[in-house]
């Protein structure tokens, strides 16, 4: 059982380049999330998808777009990368319903924008 898988693990971009971060989960979770972690800032929510077919903005959505491709996959796209987007990006998923359940995280993508 792989859990939440993120690709790539590392990426270096030049300012203005675009890229897509991929995320897939095999736990049959309905909700998926993208967070970024910056030193001293904790985990901040970029976008989330409460269920297949829906996406919503989180705390820091500017400069990003997302696609919930199917129940398993949720991608994050940077159309024109900026140095301020240098960060570690985490994808997470959870089963959301009548009860609370914890988030399960992937191992992250470390992105550097020069």
Site residues for another protein per CB under 8 A: 4, 33, 35, 40-45, 48, 50, 58, 90, 92, 96, 100, 102-108
For the bound state, the minimum distance from the C-beta of residue 71 to another protein, rounded and expressed in Å, comes to 18
Q: Which is nearer to another protein, 47 or 81 (CB)?
A: 47
H/E element, 47: strand 42-49
Q: Which is nearer to another protein, 92 or 113 (CB)?
A: 92
For the bound state, the minimum distance from the C-beta of residue 23 to another protein, rounded and expressed in Å, comes to 11
Tokens read off for 88: 């570690």
Q: Each residue of 59-76: b (16+ CB within 10 Å) or e?
A: ebbeebebebeebbbbbb
For the bound state, the minimum distance from the C-beta of residue 41 to another protein, rounded and expressed in Å, comes to 6
Half-sphere exposure of 2 (CA within 13 A, CB side): 10
Q: Which is nearer to another protein, 17 or 88 (CB)?
A: 88
Chain-centre distance of CA 70, in angstroms? 15
């Amino acid at each position: 059982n792989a859990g939440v898988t993120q690709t790539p693990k590392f990426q270096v971009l030049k300012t203005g380049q675009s890229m897509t971060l991929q995320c897939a989960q095999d736990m049959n979770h309905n909700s998926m999330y993208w967070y970024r972690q910056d030193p001293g800032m904790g985990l901040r929510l970029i976008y989330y998808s409460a269920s297949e077919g829906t996406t919503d903005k989180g705390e820091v959505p500017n400069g990003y777009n997302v696609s919930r491709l199917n129940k398993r996959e949720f991608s994050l796209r940077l159309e024109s990368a900026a140095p301020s987007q240098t960060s570690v990006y985490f994808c997470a998923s959870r089963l959301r319903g009548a009860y609370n359940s914890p988030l399960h995280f992937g191992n992250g993508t470390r992105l550097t924008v020069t």
